């Protein structure tokens, strides 16, 4: 078995999300389902996730992670530490910053531009293949968080040093202990990106 | 994952609007939210806010600038931006390093300096989910750490019987720089900003909001440094941290420890020990010893290990200013 090619990677982004995807520019509203109508203080926000525009009805006490997973069907933000902000598994990129989606209120994301690991894989960002080439995961549960954090680093820093990478990934935990593999993977992705540019 | 109980959420447009909502009743303000949302999710406090007032929607509170010899940082400035600011890094090294060593990269991207200095103290009895220990800090009658496991608790005694420590990494730097904290009501010296309040950690009134941090320029030729001891280099709260601002030839010196006491602990003993002396191994060691001369471990001596660490942090912070 060789290393699977990028094209064969399953992408959950292909699954139909339950939220309302808007054609860019047009605003289409789908009424919330019955159980949502009965809840108090609903509000509507618009946000961009992985390039798609969504208009969703949410309640103030929902987390961004809840919105992404339960409403929009993007399941890459994982829950490990239970919402303490201690593991980095739920990392998404919001307006260019890697943030913890479990500690972000969905209602504060109106107008936000969000990128999840699905979007990074769909855009065929070299970080994905670099992670595969370097075996930078074992069980893979923490990987979406690592990938988002690493991609946010590469967006800001075209030539990160190993120290920069260790520093940036310092908030992501991996129970399998793949830490040694991450700096070479991110360095490889940076090399590929710089070659393309 | 535990979900939050319901609350209303208001995006404030101005500081005054936020203050009037906060003054009206059971409301809390949210900026980065990394401390507040954790305490709410796990319901560690006996009360739960009915309304969250979002401060991030207030424009013009996110800046780092130097004006008339004073560094001014807006309260909504993210810790990561402070840590990466060239201005802060070169002239206010201890503050940049304190911001850089706070929590994880993600939390630094979310958390603000205003929130970092206003966060609640840490104690695992106080912070246990579902308000399992209704301790003194929550208005109860007992400090459970006094007779329990207090390995991370105060080494300089209790304030109103509470042994929880202030975990901020930027606070000692602000005290060492003799910073001032501007709110919508007044200007407070950093040294007088923290107090034993229930359940807060600052002198702020319920409808008082931090708007700006003002750090006066350190004297010419001075250097500053920040040292932190934690179990892991990233993620963890400090066991002990220390910031030092030392003038040329050590004519002036300000030193502040944190995570050793209810509030940031300025060590005047260590300052006196190093003032006017050469910065070398022996003098720094003596200053470290002076800093912990009045430190006492709690009954059971579980937190005794923090005393030599505090001494070493003071020593290393001074040596880093050489």
- Model confidence over B33-77: pLDDT tens digits? 999 999 999 999 999 999 999 999 999 999 999 999 999 999 999
**HEC states along A119-160?**
HHHHCCCHHHHHHHHCCCCCCCCCHHHHHHHHHHHHHHCCCC
Query: What pLDDT does residue A22 have?
Result: 56
Over 60: is that where the pLDDT of A72 sits? yes
- Residues of each domain in chain A carrying CATH 3.10.20.30: 13-116
A170 with B52: Cβ contact below 8 A = no
- Which stretches within chain A are classed as H helix? 34-38, 64-66, 117-122, 126-133, 143-156, 162-168, 182-196
Q: Which residue has the tokens 């009206």?
A: B24
Cβ(B98)–Cβ(B85) below 8 Å: no
What values do phi and psi take at A22, rounded to 5?
-100, 140
Cβ(B291)–Cβ(B279) below 8 Å: no
B105 with A168: Cβ contact below 8 A = yes
Residue of chain B nearest A92, judged by CA positions: B106
Mean per-residue pLDDT for B1-28? 94
Average per-residue pLDDT for chain B? 95
Query: What pLDDT does residue B199 have?
Result: 73
Mean per-residue pLDDT for A130-144? 96
Beta-carbon contacts of residue A173 (< 8 Å; ≥ 6 apart): A80, A81, A86, A87, A88, A89, A142, B235
Q: Tell me the pLDDT band of B160, cut-offs 50, 70 and 90.
A: confident
Residue of chain A nearest B12, judged by CA positions: A108
* Dihedral angle over CA of A13, A14, A16, A18, nearest 10: 0
- Chain A, 109-148: which have a CB under 8 Å from a chain B CB? none
Query: Which residues in chain B touch residue A65, judged by CB atoms under 8 angstroms apart?
Result: 1
- DSSP bridge pairs for A37: none
Of B112, B284, B267, give the one whose Cα is nearest residue B176.
B267
| CATH number corresponding to A13-116 | 3.10.20.30
Of B57, B63, B68, B61, give the one whose Cα is nearest residue B82.
B63
Taking residue B91's Cβ as centre, other Cβ atoms within 10 Å add up to 17
Question: What's chain B's length in residues?
Answer: 322
Query: What pLDDT does residue A40 have?
Result: 53
Query: What pLDDT does residue A20 have?
Result: 56
Tokens, residue B309:
């660490």
- Which stretches within B42-178 are classed as H helix? 79-84, 86-91, 93-100, 105-110, 113-118, 144-147, 171-176
Mean per-residue pLDDT for B302-310? 97
Query: What pLDDT does residue A41 have?
Result: 77
Mean per-residue pLDDT for B140-162? 93
CA pair distance B174, B183, nearest whole angstrom = 15
Residue of chain A nearest B104, judged by CA positions: A171
Of A13, A27, A123, A18, give the one whose Cα is nearest residue A66.
A18
Mean per-residue pLDDT for A177-197? 95
- Angstrom CA distances, B47 to B38, B124, B140, stand at 14, 18, 13
B34 with A103: Cβ contact below 8 A = yes
Chain B residues within 8 angstroms (CB to CB) of chain A = 1-9, 11, 30, 33-34, 37-38, 41-42, 52, 54, 56, 78, 80, 103-107, 109-110, 233-235
Query: What pLDDT does residue B71 have?
Result: 97
Cis peptide bond upstream of B297, omega within 30: no
Question: What's chain A's length in residues?
Answer: 197
Query: Which residues in chain B touch residue A170, judged by CB atoms under 8 angstroms apart?
Result: 104-105, 233-235
**DSSP 3-state of B190:** helix
Over 70: is that where the pLDDT of A29 sits? no
ipTM of the complex model: 0.94
Task: State pLDDT tens for residues B247-305.
Answer: 999 999 999 999 999 999 999 999 999 999 999 999 999 999 999 999 999 989 999 99
A83 with B2: Cβ contact below 8 A = yes
Query: Parallel, antiparallel, or unpaired for β B8-11 and B51-54?
Result: parallel
Over 50: is that where the pLDDT of A17 sits? no
Cβ(A131)–Cβ(A137) below 8 Å: yes
Asked if A102 is an interface residue toward chain B (Cβ–Cβ < 8 A), one would say yes
CA pseudo-torsion sign A137, A139, A142, A144: positive
A99 with B106: Cβ contact below 8 A = yes
Q: Tell me the pLDDT band of B198, cut-offs 50, 70 and 90.
A: confident
Nearest to B9 among A79, A97, A105 (CB): A105
According to CATH, the topology of domain A124-196 is: DNA polymerase; domain 1 (1.10.150)
Residue of chain A nearest B32, judged by CA positions: A104
Residue of chain A nearest B236, judged by CA positions: A86
CA pair distance B42, A159, nearest whole angstrom = 40
Asked if A41 is an interface residue toward chain B (Cβ–Cβ < 8 A), one would say yes
Over 70: is that where the pLDDT of A18 sits? no
B235 with A86: Cβ contact below 8 A = yes
Over 50: is that where the pLDDT of A149 sits? yes
- Angstrom CA distances, A98 to A38, A89, B105, stand at 34, 11, 8
Q: Let me know how many helices (H) and strands (E) chain A has, helices first.
A: 7, 6
Query: What pLDDT does residue B174 have?
Result: 98
Of A143, A116, A121, give the one whose Cα is nearest residue A50.
A116
Asked if A167 is an interface residue toward chain B (Cβ–Cβ < 8 A), one would say yes
- Residues of each domain in chain A carrying CATH 1.10.150.120: 124-196
- Angstrom CA distances, B274 to A42, B287, B316, B319, stand at 60, 6, 13, 11
A85 with B9: Cβ contact below 8 A = no
Mean pLDDT is lowest, of A4-13, B30-39, B174-183, B185-194, for A4-13
Mean per-residue pLDDT for B77-94? 97
Tokens, residue B251:
């004519």
Task: State pLDDT tens for residues B141-151.
Answer: 999 999 999 99
Residue of chain B nearest A66, judged by CA positions: B3
- DSSP bridge pairs for B131: none
Average per-residue pLDDT for chain A? 85
Q: How far is B1 from chain A (nearest CA, A)?
A: 5
Q: Tell me the pLDDT band of B1, cut-offs 50, 70 and 90.
A: confident
| Cβ contacts from A onto B, under 8 A | 92
Query: Which residues in chain B touch residue A66, judged by CB atoms under 8 angstroms apart?
Result: 3
Q: How far is CA B278 from the centre of its chain?
A: 30
For an interface test with A, the pick among B58, B106, B119, B237 (most A C-beta atoms closer than 10 Å) comes out as: B106
Mean per-residue pLDDT for A29-57? 73
């Amino acid at each position: 078995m060789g290393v699977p090619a990028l094209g064969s990677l399953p992408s959950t982004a292909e699954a139909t999300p339950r939220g309302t995807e808007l054609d860019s520019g047009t605003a289409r509203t789908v009424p919330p389902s019955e159980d949502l109508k009965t809840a108090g203080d609903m509000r509507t926000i618009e946000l961009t996730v992985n390039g798609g525009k969504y208009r969703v009805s949410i309640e103030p006490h929902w987390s961004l992670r809840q919105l992404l997973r339960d409403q929009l069907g993007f399941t890459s933000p994982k829950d490990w530490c239970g919402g303490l902000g201690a593991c980095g598994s739920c990392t998404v990129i919001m307006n260019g910053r890697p943030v913890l989606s479990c500690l972000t209120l969905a209602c504060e994301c109106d107008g936000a531009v969000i990128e999840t690991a699905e979007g990074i894989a769909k855009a065929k960002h070299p970080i994905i293949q670099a992670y595969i080439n370097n075996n930078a995961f074992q069980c893979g549960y923490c990987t979406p968080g690592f990938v988002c954090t690493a991609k946010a680093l590469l967006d800001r820093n075209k030539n990160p040093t190993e120290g920069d990478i260790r520093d940036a990934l310092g908030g992501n935990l991996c129970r399998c202990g793949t830490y040694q593999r991450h700096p070479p993977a991110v360095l490889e992705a940076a090399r590929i990106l710089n070659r393309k540019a | 994952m535990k979900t939050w109980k319901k609350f209303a959420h208001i995006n404030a447009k101005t500081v005054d609007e936020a203050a009037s909502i906060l003054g009206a009743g059971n409301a809390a303000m949210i900026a980065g939210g990394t401390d507040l949302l954790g305490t709410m999710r796990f319901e560690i406090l006996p009360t739960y806010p009915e309304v969250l007032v979002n401060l991030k929607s207030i424009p013009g509170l996110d800046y780092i600038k130097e004006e008339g010899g004073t560094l001014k940082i807006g309260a909504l400035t993210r810790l990561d931006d402070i840590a990466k600011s060239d201005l802060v890094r070169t002239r206010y090294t201890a503050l940049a390093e304190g911001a850089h060593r706070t929590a994880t990269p993600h939390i630094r991207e979310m958390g603000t300096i205003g929130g970092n200095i206003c966060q609640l103290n840490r104690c695992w009895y106080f912070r246990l989910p579902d308000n399992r220990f209704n301790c003194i800090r929550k208005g109860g009658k007992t400090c459970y750490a006094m007779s329990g496991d207090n390995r991370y608790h105060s080494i300089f005694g209790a304030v109103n019987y509470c042994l929880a420590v202030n975990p901020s990494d930027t606070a000692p730097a602000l005290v060492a720089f003799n910073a001032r904290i501007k709110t919508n009501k007044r200007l407070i010296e950093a040294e007088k900003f923290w107090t034993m309040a229930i359940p807060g950690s600052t002198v702020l009134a319920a409808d008082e909001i931090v708007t700006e941090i003002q750090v006066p320029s350190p004297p010419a030729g001075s250097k500053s440094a920040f040292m932190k001891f934690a179990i892991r280099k990233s993620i963890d709260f400090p066991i002990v941290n220390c910031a030092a601002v030392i003038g040329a030839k050590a004519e002036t010196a300000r030193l502040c420890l944190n995570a050793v006491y209810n509030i940031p602990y300025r060590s005047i003993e260590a300052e006196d020990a190093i003032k006017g002396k050469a910065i070398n191994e022996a003098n720094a060691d003596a200053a470290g010893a002076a800093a912990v001369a009045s430190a006492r471990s709690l009954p059971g001596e579980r937190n005794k290990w923090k005393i030599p660490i505090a001494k070493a942090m003071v020593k290393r912070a001074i040596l880093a200013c050489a």
